[in-house]
Amino acid sequence: MATTYPEDRSLTSSAAADLVPPLTAVAAARLLVLRNYLVYRKAWKLFITGFLEPFFYLLSIGIGVGQLIDSFEFNGHVIDYASFVAPGMLAASAFNGALIDMTFNVFFKLKFDKLYDQMLATPLSTSDIARGEIAWGQLRGGVYSLAFLGVMAVMGMLHSWWAVLALPAAMLIGFAFAAVCMGLTTYMKSWQDFDKITLAQLPLFLFSATFFPVTAYPDTIRWVVELTPLYRGVVLCRELTTGAVSMASVWSVLYLVVMGVLGLLLVRRRLDLLLLK
């Protein structure tokens, strides 16, 4: 019987490793999404919070205040006030899901748990980490949006077949905000920095034409509002669910795609600087 020496075993292991195909970008992202799913599977109640906030706003302002408004006009279509507010809350659901995961959770993984350092000891790269985490934030926002779309359907707030594209639109919103929020989180030094997130989150939510049309603002303020990302998401969701589709939806899609791609590039660059130095 032939004798196997240690050198032979090492060569055999090396040769075997060479036969293992490297992870593709899709496979790596799927692994990170699966990891996050397994972590949150037993903490599913945490997902409810991001859905309930816009839902309560819909009940209190959209329906409550809506009782005082006879009719409401949007892009030449007469709709009830609740149907005007609901798409804004739909966009806010995607926004909330992406924001929560890509700020608090990413900061803990990066600064305290050192999870990303451990991942880099595997075949995963910083690009894989960026894509996987952003995909998870996008999916979390998508789950919130899907639940909210179900509420809108039950309450009769979907007025066009264009509404079938509302979920992909919400996923796009989640992608854009997940990428940018993760990129900005890499600059944070302590938990006190999260006050800045709240400082930005609340004005975005309240002043992105979620509760009243952008034409209510003076011209100078209106142009500023129209440049904000959540406004573009609100416009996209509102036009799709009401059927009043215009070129504004096209510009919103382009805006959000560019925003997401730039955010992804920022995350990759920042992870390289922080983890590979």
Rounded Cα distance between 133 and 140, Å, is 11
DSSP state of 23: P
- Segment 189-202 shows an average pLDDT of 86
Instruction: Name 124's Cβ contacts closer than 8 Å, sequence gap at least 6.
Output: 23, 28, 31, 32
What does the alpha-carbon distance between residue 72 and residue 65 come to, in Å, rounded to a whole number? 12
* Total Cβ atoms within 10 A of residue 34: 12
Pick from 4-8, 17-21, 37-41, 48-52: least confident = 4-8
Residue 193: its pLDDT value, please? Answer: 86
CA atoms of 117 and 251, how far apart (whole Å): 38
| pLDDT score recorded for residue 21 | 63
Higher pLDDT, 201 or 6: 201
270 pLDDT above the threshold of 90: yes
Higher-confidence residue: 186 or 212? 186
pLDDT tens-digit map of 241-257: 998 899 999 999 999 99
Measure the CA–CA gap between 255 and 170, rounded to whole angstroms. 14
* CA 154 – CA 147 distance, rounded (Å): 11
CA atoms within 13 A on the CB side of 260: 26
Instruction: Kindly indicate the confidence band of residue 62, based on its pLDDT and cuts at 50, 70 and 90.
Output: confident
